[in-house]
Amino acid sequence: MNKKLSKRLSACLNALSSLGKIADIGTDHAYLPCHGITNGLIKRAIAIDIIDGPLAQAKRAIADYGLADKIELRKGSGFKPLKVGEVEGANIAGMGGKLISQLLLDGLPVAKSMKILVFQPQGGESILRKTLFENDFAIANELLLEEDGIIYTIITAKPCPKNNGCSELDVIFGPILRQNINDELFIKKWHQECVAIDEILSKIPEGNERKADFEQKKQQIKDVLAGVIS
């Protein structure tokens, strides 16, 4: 069995491919570690989920791949089922940035013992970036990719005791992504955000203070895309 991995999960796996043993947090079907080991990208893995259903599906997938001796299943939340130094890296994909941030804060000693952390947030990227910067992680790489009409952000972070902090633009647009404002997906992503803001603005009454906040955010996006602020 070798089920095709989605484009976004393949990108997450590639960011971890220099490591021997990883944790896949919120593993669902455990396809990422199964695919990684089968294709020689990683050697061993711990697959973690907090819900019994996904754990049962993961167990079946691991058995189908014949990897029960190389992938260990654990039930729990975020980094909590792991010990400090137990794995070299971790992947968290498909959760909101706010939830990922909370999982990171709840498991900081374990997270900081790893070489690489890979995140694919479903929205809330700015919340996650702010949490990373405030807790001594550096963003080593960022990637935008489109799959089935959805633009995904992949963030690769590393512990960095000498973190130099970040600007508001780094938090919102990404310190690496905003270095190339002419990237097709970067432009498309933020144009879509402007459309979403317009939809919100159409429903906010005049005089409501939230209207000014959204208008300011929209102008900031336009300025970044135009290269007015960088």
- How confident is the model over 208-222, as pLDDT tens digits? 889 989 999 999 999
Please state which of the ranges 25-34, 49-58, 205-214 shows the lowest mean pLDDT: 205-214
| Cα atoms in the Cβ-side hemisphere of radius 13 Å centred on 57 | 12
- What single letter denotes the amino acid at residue 71? I
The model's pLDDT over 173-202, given as tens digits with 9 standing for 90+, comes to 999 999 988 999 999 999 999 999 999 999
Please, which pLDDT band fits residue 205 given cuts at 50, 70 and 90? confident
